[in-house]
Each structure stands twice: as structure tokens, then as C-alpha cells.
Structure 1
């Protein structure tokens, strides 16, 4: 979906396809013709934006076969779908039975991460609509925090230099600028926006910046005003919400304890790296908790649980309410947890409802659908 900001800038709204388990090209075509096409019909969008997730294997296959890449672009056009952003955080196996800390590998000290991201950048230049010359890719916040050494930091810096050089060369060759956004997340080397400012100091703002995930920022109890004014390019905003637990309401979180994804949990007095640790007594029960479990934007969980949707609404306003210019032009609804939410769900209906929730909030901020 495209929306016109009061400044005249076009803002792109998409949903992230990492919610789907496809690891190969056949699976990607199936998800486009299936869920994505149905979401477009449910929303009534003239063109539906996708934040496409390509596994490393799918990315290599597309990079090696220009004909297949052209076929994918043609199929997107046929279905009324468009791609201006890719989710390059998960490398592969994002729907394995157990993901947890594996989602952070390879990290930015490993050559595979650099190669994968450059593959995605090359692919995105071919997928961008004809009237769009700027794309975005979100990626992990450098690495999980354990095992970080000066040597590793030096390797990461060298890889970021190589990434910048590759993106510059790609822009010169294609006339299209691809920007990579590092996504702060609790427990990682870049956990907060101040850490992003520190660790990305000196990088090229034309090509590197941050991807703000509203769920992550809320779990870290970051001030929305600080996040919006961090001073780095905000390449993309992931429109997401975390589960929030009032004091004494922690037993209700047992329904969200599952083995696939990591659910970092925080309160004002401490943190745990996963929900089971918190429920086992790792956090005081007399304080509110926030848990990294992406919740549907449009629906509240059963009481006493709530969500951090008010934080998301505040962040949207700070990024998009200015009449001068939006602070980001790529928005991606990223509730990837539909498969592990309690109870039966219709994924297409859920995604469509989330997009409708988001477009209503954007309309209230003065944006108009194109």
C-alpha cells in the first residue's frame, strides 16, 4: 500500500512475509498466490506491499538466475503485489521447530551474513517497482551480546565497510539506492537506540541506518521520543506490539511459553533472555513485565494481559505526524508469531486486520492512501 504524507512524500506500508515458512522459490510462489493474494483481496488494496523474506538458499538461487528473478518480478506484478523492502534478519530455518538464538547466526562477523545481504540488495534492485528508486533491508543488530570481543568488533567493522562499498557500487550501476537498517533488539550488541548511535557512528548514512521495531523498543522500555530523535537514518519501522503483563498477572503468560522463538522479558528492575526464565522466578512479580512476543495489532489478548500498542501509536505519531517530512518512509507490519499464538487463527484474516488497523492510524495522522 502507498500513502501520501502531507509533505508530499510517499510512505510504503507492507506486511512481512517471514510469517510464512517458505524456504525455497516454490514455496515463495505458493505464498504469493495464496495468503498474499488473499490479504490483498481482504484489504481491497489496489497494490499490496510485501516485506519479502527470502532465505539464504532462495536468495542465492535468485541471484544466480536472472531469468527466475524476472519471473518473480512478473508474478508480483500479475498479483498486484509490490516489494520495496526485504527482511534480511532471519538467514534460514525461521520456522524450524526450535529457532531461539539461532536466528542471530550468521552474525555480522561472519562472511555469510555479508554475502547474503549483498545478494538481497542485488535482488531488491530488480524487484523495485519502476517508479521507485530506493529500497530497504532490515538486518540483525550485529550479533548476540555473548562472545563479543575487540577482534570480533574489528571484523564486524570491516564487513560493514565492505557492505557500504557494495551498496555504493550497486547504486552507481543500477541508479537505485538500497539502504540497510540494523534492528536494535534486547539481548544483542545493538540492544538500544543509543547503542546504535555509538556502534554505527561513522558509517555512511546514505546506505546504513536503523530499522526500529516497536515491539523491541517497548520491551526495552525505551522512550519513544528518544527513539524517534536518535539522529540516525530510520530506514524502516516495523509496526509491531509486545505483550505486557500487569503486576501479579504473570501466570497468564504461561499460554505464551513455547519452544520456537526467543521471548526476551524485561521489567524496570531486571531482565531475562527468555520467558521461561522469567516465569521461573527470574523477575519480580510485583512489577509490570514486557515480553518480546509479537502480538496482533488489532486484537487484545485475554485479560489481565495487554499489549504495548499505545507505545506503537506514540512512535507512529512521532515518526509521521510532522508536516515537514516523515522520519521514515517504509513501514512493515511484522507479526511473525501467528503460528505460535494460542488458539486457532486464520493468518490471512489476521494480517488483513493488522493492515487495516495500521492504515486507520496513518489516516488519523494525515496520510492518504494513493
Structure 2
């Protein structure tokens, strides 16, 4: 979906497809019909944005084959779908039975991560709608926090220089600018905006910047307006925002039984107690654990926030809650000024398949309905801040964007499984 900021800027809102497991072109096209088209139709939108996730093998295949890229663009346009951003954080197998720390490999000390990201840039340059100002790719914030040393830091800096040069070459070849956004995440080398300012400053900010994931921001216990000001002061542009919410427990000891229902084997659920905000190291074990079960065993003190992307429209059952107040504060800080603070927004709830059993979608249709309800929620939050539905009209086979119609069938925030 496209929205217009009061400044006249077009703001793109879509959902991230890393919730789906397909890792080849045939599977990706199939998931468009199974999920993306029903989501668009439920919302009554003429055009739906996707934050496409392409695993490394299919990214390499598409980067090497202009005909395949053209086919993908055509298939997207025929379904009323557009892509301005890619999720380049998971390299492959993101919906495998066990992912955990594997999602951080290969990291930015490796040529494989560089090659994958430049493959994505070449693909995205050909997928961009003709009237899109730019493309964006989110990626991991250099590496998991350990092991790390001066040699790894030097290698990663060289990789970032090579990345900027590669993105410049893509723009020369295609005429389309693509920026890469490093996404602070709990447990990684860059977890907070303070660490981003310290470790990412000095890179080519015409082509490189930051992806602010609002669940991650909440887990770092950062105040959104201050965090965004910190990035601005460091000269780091917010290239992309992932509109997400984390799990919160005001009384972890009293909520232990409820929290244990959220422990699962696929993803890491890094947990941070409120005291981490004042710690020199946000991953200090006095306030932090690298997974939810470890936090329960350690009995971390105070209120907790858990890196577990929960459906925006359907808060967890009491006594648990979500970090929607952080999400709202961040969106207000981004969009109530004279200019839009970011033009690429992705709803990224990739955890639908590992939610507690009673909240998990049972069918493809239920998953599509849940994604549509999340997007409706995010759209309504942005409209409440003064953005208006619609934007520049599409081209090259992409349908024109009209005014947003009322959701077909009356999508409400809490009426679908979560």
C-alpha cells in the first residue's frame, strides 16, 4: 500500500514475506497467489507492497538471469503487487525447524554475505516500480556479538566499502539507487542505536544506513524519539522501518507459566530486562538472556521485553502484553514532522508458525487473514498520524493507485486468529 505524507512524500507500506518458507522461484510465485493476493483483496487495495525475502540461491539465480527477473516483475504486476524493499537478513532456511543463531551466518566478515547482498541489489533494481524513488535492503548488523575482535572489525569495514562500491555500480548500470540498511538486533554486535552510532558511523551514508525494527528498539528499552535523534546526530539515515511489536511481561515471576507457552525451538527470543537500558553492555547477563527459556531459568529482574514478533492487531493474553506503545511513539516521531522520517515500512511478523498453539493460524487462509489484519492496523495507525491513502501512480504494468477502499468483509483488529 502507498500512503502520502503531508510533505507530499510517498510512504510505502507492505508486509515481509520471510514468514513464508519458499526458497525457489516457483515457490515464491505460488506464495503470491496463496497469501499476497488474498491479503490485497481483503484490504480492498489496488496495490500491495511486499518486503520480499529471497534466499541466497534464488537471489543468485535471478541476479544472473534478466529474463527470470523480468518474469518475476511481470508476475508481481499482474497480481497488483509491488516491491521496493527486500529482506536480506536471513541467508537461507529461515523457516527451518531450528534456526536460532544460524540466522546470523554468514556475517559481514565474509564474501558470501557481500555477494548475496549485491545479488539482491541487482534483482531489486529490476523489480522497482518505475516511479519508486529508490530501493532498500535490510541486513544483519554486522555479526553476532561474539566472537569479535579488531581483525574482524577491519574485515567487516572493508566489506562495507566493497558493498557501497557495488551499489554504486548497480546504480550506474540500471539507473536505480538501492540502499542497504543495517538492522540493530538484540544479541548482535549492534544492538542499540548507541552502538549503531559508534560502530556504523563513517560508512557511505548515501548508500548505507539503518533499518529500525520497532520490536528490537523496544527490547533495547530505548525511548523512540531519543533513539531516532541519536541516529540523526550520528549522520545515519533511517533507510527502512520494520513495524513490529515484541512480547512484554510486567511481572515475569508471576507470568512464568504464561511465558513458558511462548518458548519454542525455531527462533532465538532474546530477552532484556528494563535495567539493560542503563547498562554499559545491553547484553549484560545481569539483565539479558539470549533466549526466553534461559531468561526464565536465570530469573532476570524487573520487567521483561522478549524478541518475539507478536501480531500487531492481537495482543498476547494477560498477564502478558506487547510493546505497541513503543511502536506508536516511534511512528509519531517519524511522521509528525515536516518530512517523513522514512519511506519504506514493512510489517514483519515472521513468527506466525511458532505462536502458542491456540494463537497459531490453522490454514493458509487464516494466515492471510492475519497478515491483512496487521496491515490494516499499521495503515490505520499511520492515517491517524495524518498520512493519507494513495500515492504516485504505478507504471510498467503496475496498476494505478486509487483511494483506499474499505476493507472487504470488514477486517477488524482482533477478528482473525493470532
TM norm structure 1? 0.98
1:168 Cα deviation (Å)? 1.1
User: Pairwise mapping of residues 136-285 of structure 1 onto structure 2 (< 5 A)?
Assistant: 136-229=136-229, 230-231=231-232, 232-247=236-251, 248-269=254-275, 270-284=287-301
CA distance in 1, matches of 2:299, 2:121: 41
Q: Does 1:308 align with 2:323?
A: yes
1:282 Cα deviation (Å)? 4.1
CA distance in 2, matches of 1:282, 1:192: 23
Q: Does 1:327 align with 2:341?
A: yes
CA distance in 2, matches of 1:177, 1:198: 26
**Number of equivalent positions:** 367
Aligned to 1:361: 381
Q: CA RMSD in A?
A: 0.9
Aligned to 1:113: 113
Query: Secondary structure at 1:77's aligned position in 2?
Result: helix
CA distance in 1, matches of 2:383, 2:100: 36
Query: Secondary structure at 1:293's aligned position in 2?
Result: coil
1:187 Cα deviation (Å)? 0.7
2:303 to 288, 295, 300: 288
Aligned to 2:415: none
Q: Any idea what the Cα deviations from partners look like across 1:318-356, whole Å, max 9, x if unmatched?
A: 00111x111101000000000001123121011100000
Q: Any idea what the Cα deviations from partners look like across 1:16-48, whole Å, max 9, x if unmatched?
A: 000001111111011011101110111111100
1:133 Cα deviation (Å)? 3.6
CA distance in 2, matches of 1:258, 1:134: 37
CA distance in 2, matches of 1:177, 1:282: 47
Runs of 4+ aligned structure 1 residues displaced above 3 Å come to: none
**Structure 1, 80-89 or 63-72: larger mean CA deviation:** 63-72
CA contact (8 A) 1:239 1:332 kept: yes
Aligned to 1:52: 52
- Unaligned runs of 5+ residues in structure 1 are none
Aligned to 2:351: 337
CA distance in 1, matches of 2:144, 2:172: 33
- Unaligned runs of 5+ residues in structure 2 are 276-286, 391-418
Aligned to 2:104: 104
CA distance in 1, matches of 2:333, 2:133: 25
CA distance in 1, matches of 2:153, 2:244: 30
CA contact (8 A) 1:133 1:175 kept: no
CA distance in 1, matches of 2:382, 2:313: 14
